[in-house]
Amino acid sequence: MKRVAVFLSVALCACGECGAEDSNSANYLVPGYQIFLRSRSQVQGLTVDELTRMAQCKGIIDAIAYVASQLPPDLSSCPPDGITTQQSIRVVLAYVLARPAQMHDDFTNLTIQALHQAWPCKR
């Protein structure tokens, strides 16, 4: 469990930008998730900031997916085999967009909650 906490801490630190807008909030990251879901032809001409947010989003999903089954039971998630990053992003976006009052909250926490709600582990 200690390795899980360290891994998530490192992943979260890599996503933040010191002194900038709250780069861990849903307000900041939701556009990156939406960009990630665009077709490749629509990604042409994106700004560096948009591409960075898109990469952050994929990194958050991949990091959480890697350790999700090892989280405490009230947070863990166990998606079925074959779930893609795009499917996970759709689940997370639906969860977050249904809760506009939480758009200022930490997006990693919201992602964990969304994945847990969609695919809780059966222990």
Give the per-residue pLDDT at 17. Answer: 42
Q: What is the pLDDT of residues 64-90, one digit of tens each?
A: 989 999 999 999 999 999 998 889 989
Provide the residue ranges of all domains of the chain, joining segments of one domain with +: 2-16+27-118
Give the per-residue pLDDT at 31. Answer: 82
Give the per-residue pLDDT at 64. Answer: 93
**23 contact partners, CB below 8 Å, separation of at least 6:** 15, 16, 17, 29, 56
0.95 surpassed by pTM: no
Percentages of the chain per state (helix, strand, coil), in multiples of 5: 65, 0, 35
Per DSSP, the three-state class of 25 is strand
Q: Which parts of the chain have pLDDT scores under 50?
A: 6, 10, 15-19
